[in-house]
Amino acid sequence: MTVFEAIPISQIGKGTAYITAGDGKAYPLDAEELRRAFAAIVHDNSTEMITTGEAAQILGVSAKTVARMLDAGEIPFVRYSAKGNRMVSRAQVVAYRDKSESHSHETLETMREAASQGGLDTILG
């Protein structure tokens, strides 16, 4: 079993593959660990990795908002290429969107029930 040790992202060398949870620390990966990380991310047989811009379109937000989500650890990602571009699993982005939409609908319903119980629905008519 491999033991992963986190290091500051600033210490990652150019062209090095790594995973981060968005806390400013990175977990460097060798070729086999990178292969296994990709396999774990796409364990549902959906191997399609997409850019943060594509994720933004799916989520209906800006690419900067997606970057903040990734930095906060809300959606897992991997960095690759000389530029260190971030890629995410399309399946995980869709699952995040679906979960967020479900939570929004539940919250709205709770607010409607509270308004009804407080008599506010008759005021607004």
Rounded mean pLDDT of 27-39?
Answer: 83
Using a pLDDT cut of 70, give the percent of the chain over it. Answer: 85
Judge whether 49 and 60 are in contact, CB under 8 Å. no
Per-residue confidence (pLDDT) for residue 23, from 0 to 100: 73
Instruction: State the Cα–Cα distance between residues 17 and 90, nearest whole angstrom.
Output: 20
Per-residue confidence (pLDDT) for residue 118, from 0 to 100: 75
**Cβ neighbours for 37, distance < 8 A, ≥ 6 positions apart:** 19, 29, 78
Ranges of each domain in the chain:
7-91
Which tokens go with 18?
A: 């790594």
Examine the pLDDT at 21 and tell me if it is beyond 60. yes
Per-residue confidence (pLDDT) for residue 76, from 0 to 100: 92
Q: Is 8 helix (H, G, I), strand (E, B) or coil?
A: strand
Per-residue confidence (pLDDT) for residue 44, from 0 to 100: 53
Per-residue confidence (pLDDT) for residue 122, from 0 to 100: 66
Rounded mean pLDDT of 6-19?
Answer: 84
pTM for the predicted model, two decimal places: 0.50
- pLDDT per position as a tens digit, 38-78: 777 666 545 688 999 999 999 999 999 999 999 999 999 99
Instruction: State the Cα–Cα distance between residues 75 and 21, nearest whole angstrom.
Output: 9
Instruction: State the Cα–Cα distance between residues 27 and 25, nearest whole angstrom.
Output: 7
Which tokens go with 52?
A: 């943060």
Per-residue confidence (pLDDT) for residue 57, from 0 to 100: 94
